[in-house]
């Protein structure tokens, strides 16, 4: 009988120790889940905030690009160059483009491409340096996706193609074109 009482006491002691030991584990697990959920919510909130900010910036730049494109494409200097592609008119056009690229930091390259896909004129801006590309270095862009897309636009229509990796003379550079 004495053994039975000792066994019972050991059993109660073991159950008590087990309950005392398991309770903190459940408490800590609950705390861990709460913290984990809070961190996840914070990360999602920060990501949404960043996406909203980026979306506003993209819309702002797209609006600025649209305005710049309208100003550049409807400019009298461009129209005169198209009607009379003389050296004087080319120089005036490229000077206007250089001024535009200088004033609008989001413009790194301006091209005039003929209906056959051949570049007619181009200026590049890189690291604050403007370069007017010599005529013998102008390229055929008829195979590029953005040129193919431009051919689908109606007369006097504007289109945005998206981001395109900059390809010069058949090899990719590290800049992106929009």
For residue 3, the model assigns a pLDDT of: 78
Flag whether pLDDT at 92 surpasses 70.
yes
Average pLDDT over residues 42-56: 94
Cβ atoms 120, 112 nearer than 8 A? yes
The tokens describing 17, both together, are 């120790």
CA distances in angstroms from 160 to 60, 69, 167, listed in the order given: 14, 10, 18
Percent of the chain residues past pLDDT 90, beyond the cut: 37
Flag whether pLDDT at 78 surpasses 50.
yes
For residue 178, the model assigns a pLDDT of: 47
Q: Which residue, among 104, 27, 115, 22, has the nearest Cα to 68 in the 3D structure?
A: 104
- Using left for φ > 0, alpha for ψ between -120 and 50, and beta otherwise, residue 120 falls in alpha
30-39, pLDDT tens digit by residue? 999 999 999 9
Flag whether pLDDT at 13 surpasses 90.
no
Considering the four listed CATH numbers 3.30.450.20, 3.40.50.12280, 2.40.430.10, 3.60.10.10, the one that applies to the domain covering 75-177 is 3.30.450.20
Average pLDDT over residues 128-141: 89
The tokens describing 148, both together, are 């193919």
pTM: 0.62
For residue 69, the model assigns a pLDDT of: 82
Cβ atoms 149, 172 nearer than 8 A? no
159-175, pLDDT tens digit by residue? 777 665 555 655 544 44
The rounded mean pLDDT for the chain is 84
The full set of domain ranges for the chain reads 1-73, 75-177
CA distances in angstroms from 172 to 9, 43, 164, 166, 177, listed in the order given: 80, 35, 10, 6, 11
- The C-alpha atoms of residue 4 and residue 10 are separated, in whole angstroms, by 10
**75-80-85 Cα angle (round to 5):** 130
- The C-alpha atoms of residue 10 and residue 21 are separated, in whole angstroms, by 16
For residue 19, the model assigns a pLDDT of: 79
């Amino acid at each position: 009988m004495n053994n039975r009482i000792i066994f019972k006491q050991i059993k109660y002691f073991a159950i008590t120790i087990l309950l005392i030991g398991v309770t903190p584990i459940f408490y800590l697990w609950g705390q861990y889940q709460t913290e984990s959920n809070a961190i996840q919510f914070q990360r999602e909130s920060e990501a949404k905030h960043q996406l909203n900010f980026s979306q506003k910036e993209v819309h702002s730049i797209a609006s600025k690009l649209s305005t710049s494109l309208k100003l550049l494409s409807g400019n009298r200097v461009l129209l005169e160059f198209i009607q009379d592609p003389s050296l004087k008119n080319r120089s005036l056009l490229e000077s206007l483009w250089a001024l535009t690229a200088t004033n609008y930091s989001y413009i790194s390259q301006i091209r005039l491409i003929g209906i056959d896909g051949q570049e007619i004129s181009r200026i590049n801006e890189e690291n604050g340096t403007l370069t007017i590309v010599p005529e013998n270095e102008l390229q055929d862009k008829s195979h590029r996706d953005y040129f193919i897309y431009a051919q689908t636009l109606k007369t006097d229509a504007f289109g945005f193609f998206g981001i395109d990796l900059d390809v010069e003379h058949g090899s990719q550079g590290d800049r992106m074109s929009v």
